[in-house]
Amino acid sequence: MSWDKTKDQLREQTVRQTNKRKNTAKWCRGKVGVEHVTEIVINHNYTNTRGCNWYPIYYSFKRRAEGPRDYRYWCKHSLRCTNCGKYTEIFLGVEQCPDASPRPE
């Protein structure tokens, strides 16, 4: 507070710009308006030797002889931006995977 009331009113009306983190999840390199240009690549963090396939889920170790109860799809492909190198989607679904196989029954 100062002795001059007009300075106090001007100080309240001005809005300071605060430091913000760049939104790299939505925009490429954090620049607003620049969208990610994605391509399907093999993720270097989650490569496995088995490849993209359906894998059985067993609910109990004792019931393993009965067979699997359900299947889960494991994919090693990801969506990566060609400009900044950020992975936008890490695990792709069955619809997006280029090596997708039909679900076993």
Would you state the pLDDT for residue 39? 95
Q: How far apart are CA 78 and CA 98, in angstroms?
A: 11
Q: What is the pLDDT of residue 12?
A: 62
Go through the chain and tell me how many residues it has.
Answer: 105
| pLDDT on residue 15 | 64
Output the tens digit of pLDDT for each of the chain's 105 residues: 556 667 666 666 666 667 777 888 888 988 888 999 999 998 887 766 677 888 888 776 666 667 777 888 888 889 999 999 999 988 888 889 988 888 887
What is the structure's pLDDT at 52? Answer: 85
Please give the angle made by the CA atoms of 74, 60 and 97, to the nearest 5 degrees: 10
Residue 81: the pLDDT is 94
Q: Phi-psi region for residue 77, left (φ > 0), alpha (ψ -120 to 50) or beta? A: beta
Q: Do the beta carbons of residue 51 and residue 100 sit within 8 Å?
A: no
Among 91, 63, 64, which Cα is nearest to 79's? 91
pLDDT number for residue 82 = 94
Our CA dihedral for 81, 86, 87, 88, rounded to 10 degrees, sits at: -70
